[in-house]
Amino acid sequence: MINAGIIGSTGYAGSELVRILLQHPSVNLKLLNSRSYIGKNFNAVYDNFNNFCDIECSDLKIEDMANEVDVIFLALPHGIASKQVTQDILSKTKIIDIGADFRLKSQEIYESWYKTKHHSPELLNQAVYGLSEWKREEIKKSPLIANPGCYTTCSLLPLYPLMKENIIDKNSIIIDAKSGVSGAGRALNLGTHFIECNDSIKAYKIASHRHTPEIEQQLSEVSGQQIQVSFTPHLIPMNRGILATCYVNLEQDSIGISEEEIKQIYETYYKDEYFIRIMNQGVYPETRWVKNSNFCDIGFKLDERTNRIVIICAIDNMVKGAAGQAVQNLNIMFDIDEKTGINYIPTFP
């Protein structure tokens, strides 16, 4: 059994981790840290966990937790994980950071987008960007995984095959993303007060959301050139799910490509990827079809009038966008079947 602990367990992503890990056959969830609920049992914070989890939330430090568990998940606001993780910690335990601190390779870009100092830049190169489907081999070898952002996962997976195949104009990428409100976390905020977001929709952080440099870093790596994208997140009155609508122009040489050929590209790249489901032509992903699951559904439409491809991707932001992918990475790191503990059928209704 893999002994696991979570630091920051009482946020939404943390609680989703608790839920998944408790049902994981190879994991023993041992320690829960939470600044906000020290001394409270986990099921007193979240009543759904009655009968399942009465672990007491503690303020145990990462140094002490590292001595007791094989893996620590961090689910913390940015700027905190980079203070806590050290080489010493990494020599004792594996770290899967659901937060943003180790995702960007460039300290400068991190500090410019996050407006805060990075406290352990020496670890940035050691950290592996944990997009499971792309980085499997590196994930296996690293003690420090930077779990991707929810928007990033939902943007990268649909764009990757088209980038690799060089059929799209790399300067034309526009990602219009729509997220359920759980993505904003449990901290109280007027913008996520029920009345302020129910029965309404808004864009926010236009051209300035922090998942942008993360998307760009990964697409640049894949394409071997500097990529910039337009990324616009929107808040949708629903609990879970992200839908990303991606617009790309066909590269001049690729004009004339058929939908079947594009479908073939996706199938070639993802035929062995269990958690990526390519939709049939004419069928597009909807967030309801991936709810409470680790699946990433991808569909697309070739618009022959404008020579653009419109690609739609849906994930559950709490699962493939956070806790589920973190466990997928745990499975990879510990050489367990990658589906273990996260192979649930999406729930509907």
The phi, psi pair for 77, rounded to 5°, reads -60, 155
Q: Which of 53, 150, 197, 296 is catalytic?
A: 150
Nearer to a second copy, 30 or 301 (CB): 301
Nearer to a second copy, 143 or 183 (CB): 183
Q: Are 26 and 50 in contact (CB under 8 A)?
A: no
Minimum separation from the CB atom of position 175 to a second copy (A):
10
The bridge status of strand 230-235 relative to strand 202-203 is antiparallel
Region label for 168, one of left (φ > 0), alpha (ψ between -120 and 50) or beta (otherwise): beta
Minimum separation from the CB atom of position 194 to a second copy (A):
4
Tell me whether residue 150 is one of the annotated catalytic residues: yes
Nearer to a second copy, 106 or 239 (CB): 239
Output the furthest CA–CA distance in the chain (Å, rounded). Answer: 63
Residues in contact with 255: Cβ distance below 8 Å, sequence separation at least 6, in sequence order: 307
**DSSP per-residue codes, 27-42:** EEEEEEE-STTTT-BH
Minimum separation from the CB atom of position 4 to a second copy (A):
16
Q: Are 159 and 248 in contact (CB under 8 A)?
A: yes
CA distance 280 to 133: 21
SS3 74: strand
Nearer to a second copy, 84 or 294 (CB): 294
Minimum separation from the CB atom of position 42 to a second copy (A):
11
Nearer to a second copy, 224 or 349 (CB): 349
The phi, psi pair for 112, rounded to 5°, reads -75, -40
Beta bridge partners of 94: 71
Minimum separation from the CB atom of position 302 to a second copy (A):
8
- Other beta carbons less than 10 A from residue 164's beta carbon: 13
Catalytic residues: 150
